Structure 1
Amino acid sequence: MPEAKVLTISEFGGVVLILGAESKQMGHKECLQLLESIEDVHNHLISLLTFLIDCERKQQCPKKMMLVRWERLLTRSIDLEGSLPGSHVSAYQYALSEFQHGISELEPIAKNFLVAKGLGS
């Protein structure tokens, strides 16, 4: 018996499909929006984490626990983003939610660093 082929992110007749997108009634446009949102949000999260790690390392007495936490989150977000190709649409939606949650937690901390440097309000 031949193996069933699983369509992941591929072009087929001009339509981008993510596994499971049809069951959520997501068309070409919605799939692209999801992919672009994940890319944008992930890039923002990576920027925040990189900024925070750099700022904390430059502190007179860096908080090692914060550095470890942020470095783990950075690694985890990169791993999660890297695991997405070929995944079910629900994995993409989960990743987007996780990245957004990380941003909402980290933005206030980043703003505090900027204020302390006299760069924010």
Structure 2
Amino acid sequence: MLLPGAEELGITQRQCLELLESAEDTLDFLISSLTYLIHAESQQAQPDAALIAEWEALDQEVFDVQYSLPGSDAKTYQHVINTYAQRNRELRPVVDRYMAK
């Protein structure tokens, strides 16, 4: 199964499957991190409502992206992986700080 636009990018069927899996894994990991962070912050003595709202907004964005992906073209999958992998990298130190508490 080739994703739309894969052929013109020279992406094989196997690479398409890897794109699909990578996008799914990237988004799932980000949702998991955000769920953890929202819960951890809400358990603080004085939760930061603005921070929680920011994370909830990102969580909703990722949810929307995740459910809009089926049927997307290969470039969209690549963009999702690049964009949200970067978000994962940005949140990793934050998750680590909460876990160290």
TM-score band by shorter chain is over 0.9
1:56 paired with 2:41, answer yes
Q: CA deviation at 1:94?
A: 1.0
Q: Which whole-Å CA distance do the structure 2 matches of 1:28 and 1:89 have between them? A: 11
Q: What is the correspondence of 1:1-121 to structure 2 with a 5 Å cutoff? A: 16-116=1-101
TM-score (normalised: structure 2) = 0.96
Q: Which whole-Å CA distance do the structure 1 matches of 2:59 and 2:79 have between them? A: 16
5+ long unaligned stretches in structure 1: 1-15, 117-121
5+ long unaligned stretches in structure 2: none
Q: CA deviation at 1:48?
A: 0.3
**Amino acid of the structure 2 residue aligned with 1:63:** D
- How large is the Cα RMSD of the aligned pairs? 0.8
**After TM superposition, where is structure 1 displaced by more than 2 Å over at least 4 residues in a row?**
none
Larger Rg: 1
Q: Percent identity, please.
A: 36
TM-score (normalised: structure 1) = 0.81
Q: Whose RCO is larger (CA < 8 A, sep 6+)?
A: 2
* Higher relative helix content: 2
